[in-house]
């Protein structure tokens, strides 16, 4: 696209929500022409948990858990049974419960593979 349009840049926008790997994947593609695979389930879940941990440190548990609900939904988008887990997480009010539920979800998914 860059060669055809002669544009100077591209805009990512909402493509980065729940997908922080997009920048690395685009850079890799632009340098090599190779499309990197999607991140593994474990990487997505562990990144969501790390994001939650950082949000709790920054905003406190009460606010962070509520604000992270939408971010966790983006991390889980397209994964098996993600609608159910998103619904469950939207009702959880503690940091540790969210972490536990995400870890349980990851184990459930890995068992089914």
Which domain CATH number covers 59?
1.10.1200.80
100: domain range? 41-112
Confidence of residue 12 (pLDDT cuts 50, 70, 90): confident
Residue 105's contacts (CB-CB under 8 Å, 6 or more residues apart) are: 45, 81, 85
Q: Are residues 18 and 53 in the same domain?
A: no
pTM: 0.87
Please tell me the distance from the alpha carbon of residue 3 to that of residue 32, in angstroms, as a whole number. Answer: 15
Domain count, the chain: 2
**Contact (CB, 8 A) for 23 and 12:** yes
Please tell me the distance from the alpha carbon of residue 7 to that of residue 11, in angstroms, as a whole number. Answer: 11
pLDDT of residue 1: 66
Please tell me the distance from the alpha carbon of residue 11 to that of residue 19, in angstroms, as a whole number. Answer: 14
Q: Are residues 49 and 25 in the same domain?
A: no
- Eight-class DSSP state of 40: P
- Eight-class DSSP state of 4: H
């Amino acid at each position: 696209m860059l060669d055809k349009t002669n544009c100077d840049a591209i805009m990512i926008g909402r493509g980065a929500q729940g997908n922080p790997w997009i920048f690395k994947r685009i850079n890799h593609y632009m340098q090599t022409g190779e499309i990197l695979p999607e991140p593994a389930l474990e990487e997505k879940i562990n990144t969501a948990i790390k994001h939650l941990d950082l949000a709790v440190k920054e905003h406190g548990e009460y606010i962070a858990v509520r604000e992270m609900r939408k971010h966790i939904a983006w991390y889980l988008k397209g994964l098996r049974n993600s609608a159910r887990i998103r619904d469950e997480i939207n009702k959880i009010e503690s940091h540790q419960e969210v972490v536990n539920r995400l870890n349980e979800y990851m184990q459930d998914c890995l068992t089914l593979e």
